[in-house]
Amino acid sequence: MSPVVTRVAMAVGGAALVTAASLVEALTYRGAPVGGVLLPMAALIAGAAVAPFLPAVGVLAAVVSFPLQVFLTPDSPGIGGTALITMMVLIAYGGLRLPPRWSALGAALAALGAAASIVVDGESLFEFVFFAATMGGAWSLGWLLRRERHRGAELRALAAALAAERERSGRLAVVEERARISRELHDAVAHTVSVMTLQVGVLRRRLQETPEGEVLRAVEELGRRSVDELRRVVGALREDADGANPLDPAPSLARLDALVAELDGVGLAVGVRHDGEPVSLAPAMDTSAYRIVAEALTNVLRHAGAGEAEVVLTHRRESLTITVTDRGAGAEATRSDDGHGLLHMRERAALFGGTLVAGPREGGGFRVEAVLPLGPSPVAAAGSVAS
């Protein structure tokens, strides 16, 4: 229901409930007219009807109810339990809806007014203690509910902010990984175009002083300009990159032994097994396959708490399957130090239309499996083209 409908239902239901309870209570007083009991309750009935919309009016009704009974209807048999309970509910509701300083003032005035009225009418001073305890307890309940409501709203806002930040961080991680992949693709394309240009140059020298030679000269010049442009683009992409040395060898599955030796030096023993006859991969796919293995093993080292891991490279004509397993801490191994390890690996696999599945293993540990499709005919590596 909408807030307005809810408050109307509270107002009607509250007023009807207080009226009905007052009638039942009035009928239990023998020899006292019903009006003598209901008249002192008029302020509380009105307060129950208005409080959902104006909580301050409800608190005011609780403040004046006992003085009205004592001084305006002295022949009344007195206000019973219905009045006391209604006062406590109105004070508690005021503590929930009103600022604490004003609701606390209303609770204090209600307790003081009720106790003073009864003491003036002949009761003992203990009434001050009684009403201080009842009204103070009611206000404390309302104030606690108000505080928890505010904390709940703050927690929801914080959770929404964290979710937005996590989404933004994830998008940034994807963008950074795609930029890194772009740099590596530029490297691979530049190398391939360089080889093509060299081959065209060789053929052009054999066909000098012929129309075909002039065409090949133009193709060679275009290839050289393309390589220069690619190198400029690569240089711009690497200005704020991850600090890699451009003279370092490109990441490749052929360098897995060096990675294994490096990890063995820091306490992670890695076994590498090949299933099937290795197929030459295009440079970009070779780099991405190496990056997937390196990322998975880095997660094992940092988060799994395992001392051993296994890498299985399954070579098939139509695909390359990379499987990295360990017997460490299960789901904790899904995250890298920045929380985006799986994002990076999935981006690598998706680049070639592949898939990546990661999850806990039966019996403990974790498993990462990436499938990179090779297509109907695997692309020859740049080294094969050059040869």
- Look at residue 373 and give its three-state secondary structure: strand
Q: Tell me how many degrees the CA angle 272-277-281 measures, rounded to the nearest 5.
A: 85
Residues 54-83: tens digit of each pLDDT? 989 889 988 888 887 777 766 665 566 788
pLDDT for the residue numbered 335: 44
Closest by CA position to 374, among listed 360, 354, 350, 346: 354
- Residue 162: count of CB within 10 angstroms of its CB: 10
Task: Please give the pLDDT value at position 322.
Answer: 93
The predicted-structure confidence for 46-57, as pLDDT tens digits, reads as follows 888 888 899 898
Q: What is the pLDDT of residue 79?
A: 61
Q: Quote the distance between the C-alpha of residue 275 and its chain's center.
A: 40
Query: Could you report the per-residue pLDDT of 244-269, keeping only the tens digit for each?
Result: 554 456 678 888 888 888 888 877 88
Report phi then psi at 310, rounded to 5: -130, 135
Within the chain, how many helices (H) and strands (E) appear? 11, 5
pLDDT of residue 94 exceeding 60: yes
Element (H, E) at 110: helix 100-120
Q: Which residue type does 241 have?
A: A
Please give the single-letter amino acid code of residue 1.
M
100-120 and 126-206 helices, crossing angle to 10°? 170
Q: 89 in helix, strand or coil?
A: helix
Please give the sequence-ordered ranges of beta strands (E in DSSP) within the chain, or none if there are none.
269-275, 308-315, 319-326, 355-360, 366-373
Average pLDDT over residues 211-221: 73
Burial class (CB in 10 A: 0-12, 13-18, 19+), 156: exposed
Q: How far is CA 155 from CA 75, 159, 237, 372, in A?
A: 54, 6, 41, 43
Q: What is the pLDDT of residue 91?
A: 92
Of the ranges 207-211, 233-237, 297-301, 336-340, the best mean pLDDT one? 297-301
Mean pLDDT in residue range 361-384: 67
Q: What is the mean pLDDT of residues 18-37?
A: 71
Alpha-carbon distance 298 to 341, whole Å? 9
Place of tokens 């201080």: 132
- The arrangement of strands across the sheet holding 366-373 comes to 269-275, 308-315, 319-326, 366-373, 355-360
The C-alpha angle 311, 315, 319, rounded to 5 degrees, equals: 110
109 class by beta-carbon count within 10 Å (0-12 exposed, 13-18 middle, 19+ buried): middle
Q: What is the mean pLDDT of residues 203-216?
A: 71
Q: So what's the pLDDT on residue 143?
A: 93
According to the model, what pLDDT value does residue 383 have? Answer: 35
**Band of pLDDT at residue 235, cut at 50, 70 and 90:** low
Instruction: Tell me what pLDDT residue 298 has.
Output: 82
Among 39-48, 123-132, 263-272, 368-377, the least confident range: 368-377
Per-residue model confidence as pLDDT tens digits over 116-146: 887 887 777 888 888 889 898 999 999 999 9
pTM summary value: 0.47
Burial class (CB in 10 A: 0-12, 13-18, 19+), 1: exposed
